[in-house]
Structure 1
C-alpha cells in the first residue's frame, strides 16, 4: 500500500507513494491510470537511474485515499488541486529544515492520469514546468473512442445527483473488483481492464511488470469500486474543468503505435491543443507504453540540466 498518508486542509487524507532517489532535488509527480493506485513504478531500474524524487498520490477512493465527499461530484480539477496542495506543503516543510528543491516540478500522467497531470499544469502554472502524458485519451467529442451506449449512460449519470450516479456506476463496475479479488497473487490479476492487449506482451514480459500492475490493481480496489467510478464520471459525465491552452509547461505526448485505446489520433489531437508540446510514438507498443517509455519520460520531466 502507499508509503504514507497526507492530510489535506479539508481534512481528507490521501495516500502517497515515493520511489526513485529520495535525496534528488528534482521532484516528479506520477498520476496513475484508471483503475490504478500510487504503488505502481513503471520501471524501477529507470527510476533508480534518473536523479529524481518521484511521488505518486492515490486519487480519492483508491488505495489509501479517502473517497470523494458525499454529495460532491468527482472532478479532474479537484484531483489536480490535491496534488498541488501536497507539492506546496512538501516544499514549505523541506525549506524549514534546510532542504532546497527547485520551486517547479515535473508531472507525468498515464492514461486517465494524463488529464490530471495536464490539469495540475493548467491550474498551477507557476508550480509545473514540464509535463508528460502517455496513452491519454482525448475528449470523446474530439476523438470518438467510447462506445455510444456507454457514452449515453454517462450522459444519463451526469444528470443524476452525484451520490446516485456514484452508487449506480460503482455497482456496474463490481465485476472488475471481483476479478481482481479472485486472483490469489498479483501476477494472476487480469489486466484487460487497463486496456492491455496482445501487442503489450513484450512490455508485460519485463521483470516484475505483471506483478507490479497486479499490486496496483489490488490497491485500486481495496476500498471497492468508488475510485474508478469517480474517475469515469469526472471525464465522461462532467466537463473537464480546465483549458488545455492554459498549459504553459513544455509537454511530451507519447502514444503506443498499436494502442487501441488512445493511439496516434489522440496524441495528435493533444499536439494541436497544447501550446508547447512534442509528440512521439512508440512502434509495436499498445496501451502499456508507459513501461518501455518510462526512461524517456523521466529524461523529459527530470533532465540532467533543466532548460526551457
Structure 2
C-alpha cells in the first residue's frame, strides 16, 4: 500500500536554480529514467513532500519546485501560473530534462500544472490533478477575505506559530480546527476516521506549513486554459472537499478532451488519507505506465 500517512513527516533538502525567469527553489529526488513535476498546493513548498511515494515507487524521478512566494522562490519569479510554467520549463532545461512523463497539480498548484501543459505541450506528456483548483471562481468571498487577513505575508508567521502551539498542546482540537476548512463533513467524524499514524503525519505537516507571499497570490484570478490541454489527464477529487469543491474537477473533466475523472472516497481535501487511496495509487501507476 502506498500512502503518505505511513511515514513521519519531515522537511527534505532543496536547492536553488537561477533560470532566466528568476530564482526557483526545487527538490529533485529519485533515479528514474523519467521525471514528473509536482506543483504543490497552498502553504507548501519544495521541501515538503505530500503523496509523492506513488511516483517514486513506480520508478519516476520527482522534480518539485516551490511556486512563487513559497520557500525560497520569490514572488517575482514568474508571478503568474503562466510565468511560472515558463520558469519551470527553463528549470527543466537547466537540469537536462527534455520530456516530462507528467505534471502533477495539487490543490492550488492545479492551475499552474494546467497552464504548463497548455503552454509547453512538447515538454508535458500527461497531467495528473489531485484535489486541484480549476478555473471556476475560487475561493469563495468569505475564504478570500479571511485568507488575506490571516495568511498575508505580514502576519502569516504568527498565524502558523499559533497553530503549531495549538497542535502541540491540544492536538485533537488543532486538527479538528484545520480539518473544518478541508471537509464538508463534521471535523470530529473526519478525525475519527484517521489512524494514529495518519493523525501524526497530518499534525507534522500542519506544523511545517508556511504561507509566505504565495497564498494571497494563489487567490488571484487566472486565465482559463483548460480547453487547450489535450494531453491525457487524470483528475482526482472527492465530493467531501470543502476547500476545493468537487465542481472544479467536474468542470475540468467536461472541457478537457482526454480527461478521466476519478471520484475519491476520502473524507477531506487530503485524498491520500482516504480509505480507497490504494485503488487511486494503482490508477495513477497504470495511467503513467500507459504513457
Per the normalisation by structure 1, the TM-score is 0.71
Contact 2:41 2:109 in 1 (8 A): yes
**In the alignment, which residue of structure 1 is the partner of 2:134?**
138
- Aligned in 2, Cα 1:279/1:139: closer, same or farther, shift over 3 Å? same
Tell me the C-alpha RMSD between the 2 structures.
3.6
Are 1:255 and 1:282, in contact at CA under 8 Å, matched by a contact in 2? yes
- Describe how 1:239-254 pairs up with structure 2 within 5 A: 240-241=222-223, 243-254=225-236
Unaligned ranges ≥5, structure 1 = 93-101, 155-164
Q: Which residue of 2 aligns with 1:299?
A: 285
Cα shift at 1:104: 3.2
Paired position in structure 2 for 1:170? 153
Is residue 2:15 matched to residue 1:32? no
1:7 maps onto 2:17 in alignment: yes
CA distance in 1, matches of 2:116, 2:217: 18
Equivalent in the alignment of 1:277: 259
Q: CA–CA distance in 1 between the matches of 2:201 and 2:90?
A: 27
Answer yes or no: is 1:75 the counterpart of 2:74: no
In 1: Cα distance, 2:181 partner to 2:92 partner: 27
Q: Which has the higher contact order (CA 8 A, sep 6+)?
A: 1
1:124 is matched with 120
List 4+ stretches of structure 1 deviating above 6 A: 165-168
1:129 is paired with a residue whose SS is: coil
Match 1:147 to one of 132, 140, 148: 140
Report the more deviating stretch, 254-263 or 265-274. Answer: 254-263
Structure 2, gaps ≥5 residues long: 1-10
1:90 aligns to 2:95 (yes or no): yes
Note if contact 1:47-1:295 (Cα within 8 Å) is conserved in structure 2. no
TM-score of the superposition, structure 2-length normalised?
0.75
The 2-side partners of 1:269 and 1:126 are apart by 25
Structure 1 residue 89, shift from structure 2 partner: 2.0
TM-fit CA distance, 1:67: 2.1
> Is this contact kept in 2: 1:31–1:109, CA < 8 A?
yes
In the TM superposition, what is the alpha-carbon distance from 1:215 to its structure 2 partner?
4.8
